[in-house]
Amino acid sequence: MAGIASRRLAKELKEIHTQGCPVGIQLLSADNFEEWHLSLEVMGDSQYQGEVFALKFRFEPQYPISAPAVQFMVTDKYKSPVHPHVYSNGHICASILGTEWSPVLSVIGVCVTLQSMLASCKKKERPPDNDRYVRHAPDNPKQTRFHYHDDTV
Amino acid sequence: MSSREPMWYCHECHAEMRPLMAPDPHCASCHGTFVEKIENPQDDPREFTGHGPLGDDAAPEFDQFLMGLHRLLAHPGPRSPAPRPSSPGIGGGIRFEMTRNRPGAGGGTFVLGGPNTLGRAPGERDGVPAPGSSMFTRRNSGDRDPENAIAGNLMMQYLISMLGQRPGTRGPGTGAGADPLGGLFGPMLGGAEEGRWGDYVFSQDALDQIMSQLMENSNAHRPVPASDEVVNKLPKEILEDGSPLLEKDCAVCKEQFKLGTEDPDEQIVVTLPCKHPFHEPCIMPWLKSSGTCPVCRYQLVPQPSQEHGGPGAPPAGGSSRPGSPSNGNNRPRSPGAGGNGGGGGLLSTLLGHFGSGSGHSRSGLNASTNNRQGESGHSRSGSNASASNRQGESEAHIPGSWSEPVD
């Protein structure tokens, strides 16, 4: 199984290296086929001008059949963008990362989609249930069952 | 203590006395704490004595009214339901039981709620009660059939049973007219589950129930896998020289189809009805998780999608699917309509709201991916067009609902 994921990721990585990333997206790290980091910046006029975010992708061996776990990184350097679909722990409410995932999508494809999600934001605010969600959020945003422990991300 | 000081009345032993005041006022004779100062002649507590120690039948007219109402609703003429199964334990709601041993008045058990108290109402068990007959029984003397015990104030029973009993869903035989009253109140009250009222809960179980229901509902949009039958019918082709497929890519692994691969399975190409070709080992695992085309989302099996309720989405040309904002509202789930036996009313309204929230956020992103797919590239204009759709949406609906785990 792992073969499929690594072959596909290797191909994506090769493409990134040969063709480069779309504007505003940069590969930060892709040392293995389990976790990649990319930076994301919204170009042009937007609510997030001058802000740089980082996305963490985690891949299962079933990738691309199963969606990657994608979230904004929350570290000393990076913050979670204030957006109605982004929780302060970096978790993202985006259907393409859940039920609407398709293996046709790729790491770069997800980045571009999230980039445009931010670009189209008119009002910077957290999801209304942010506090409640973040309190109980599982570490992995893909997890469907509740795990009542603190999110450590 | 001055003699002008009013007497107190004990509702438990009916004594008139001066209570012991420490730590709280309690009856000097039975030490009960249900004591009342007799100070207002208009509201003399002693007037309750005639009806019983706990004043259950303090308002018989009202009980009568409720009883009549229940009978009316429970037996709407010819549609009279089969006797409601009243097996204890199944219809068990909240049961509150209080047993006392009172000096001078004999023991008494006071029961509220309990298994199917409403279902066990005289109207069901003993035929319709004559008007004026008592709807409640107090087992003061202990010589009554405990099966018959309809204890507690009827109003209380109504409340408790509304809280504690899910209307019309318990047990077999509760068909059409199972509990019209419950049906009446159910949607209003949010389809009471055991120990639960709307999204108020009274027990850990009820909380867990709500949680799992929320999760189930949040997963209601999980893709439906393609059945073996559907999968087996898909046309398969073995690559050979000169095949036009050799010009194409498999959208899952993003590799071009080619002859002489290491894995012989990769010589087998499956073409979906929408004409999109895939390596067999690439598409099969996907179809087992979602019966859709990865490229255009053609539905091989009907998906619980917010976009298209029915089967057979327009094949090919992913971009042809409208990302219109109204799509999010087309989902089959509507408040109160849940056929899954889940709570109706408030809760599903809430869930419906949740749902539409995520549906909208979804339809937006969704459309953008579609556009991208349709235009085979990272077309910014496509994404933006759909993004503006989403904008309009998120103003009117709750954004930020989580499509997967949900809070």
- Long-range contacts from B232-241, C-beta under 8 angstroms, 24+ separation: B234/B270, B234/B271, B234/B272, B234/B273, B235/B270, B235/B271, B236/B268, B236/B269, B236/B270, B236/B280, B237/B268, B237/B269, B237/B270, B237/B271, B238/B267, B238/B268, B238/B269, B239/B267, B239/B268, B239/B269
Distance from CA of A77 to the nearest CA of B (A): 24
Give the active site residues of A: 93
Q: Which residue has the higher pLDDT, B268 or B185?
A: B268
Q: What pLDDT digit, counting tens, does each position of B303-337 carry?
A: 875 544 333 333 333 333 333 333 333 333 333 33
Q: Which residue has the higher pLDDT, B56 or B366?
A: B56
**pLDDT of B269:** 94
| Pick from A73, A23, A44: nearest CA to A81 | A73
Residue B73, pLDDT above cutoff 80: no
- Residue ranges of the alpha helices (H) in B264-379? 280-289, 345-374
Range(s) of the domain holding residue B70: 60-75+86-189
Residues B273, B165 share a domain: no
The answer to the question of residue B369 being in a domain is no
Q: Which of A63, A87, A93 to mutate to test the interface with B (most CBs of B within 10 A)?
A: A93
What is the pTM assigned to this prediction?
A: 0.48
Residues B42, B18 share a domain: yes
Residue A91, pLDDT above cutoff 50: yes
Q: Cα separation of B357 and B348, whole Å? A: 13
Q: Quick one: chain B helix, strand, coil %, rounded to 5?
A: 35, 10, 50
The chain-wide mean pLDDT, for chain A, equals 88
**pLDDT of A19:** 94
What SS3 state is found at A61? Answer: coil
Window from A8-22, A119-133, B134-148, B262-276 with minimum mean pLDDT: B134-148
**pLDDT of A42:** 95
B242-261 residues touching A, CB cutoff 8 A: 251-255
Which token pair is A33?
């086929």
Nearest-by-CA chain A residue for B294: A102
Q: Cα separation of A124 and A151, whole Å? A: 23
**Where among B189, B212, B234 does a domain terminate?**
B189
* Reported confidence tier of residue B263, pLDDT bands at 50, 70, 90: confident
Number of domains in chain B: 3
Residue B350, pLDDT above cutoff 60: no
Domains belonging to chain A, first-starting first, are 2-135 (3.10.110.10)
The answer to the question of residue B291 being in a domain is no
Residue B31, pLDDT above cutoff 80: yes
A23-62 residues touching B, CB cutoff 8 A: 62
Mean pLDDT of A57-80: 94
Residue A102, pLDDT above cutoff 60: yes
**Where among B189, B215, B243 does a domain terminate?**
B189
* Reported confidence tier of residue B21, pLDDT bands at 50, 70, 90: confident
Compare CB distances from B254 to A8, A98, A102 and report the shortest one's residue. Answer: A8
Residues B278, B159 share a domain: no
What SS3 state is found at B159? Answer: helix
* Reported confidence tier of residue B387, pLDDT bands at 50, 70, 90: very low
The chain-wide mean pLDDT, for chain B, equals 59
Residues B132, B31 share a domain: no
**pLDDT of A40:** 95
Residue B390, pLDDT above cutoff 80: no
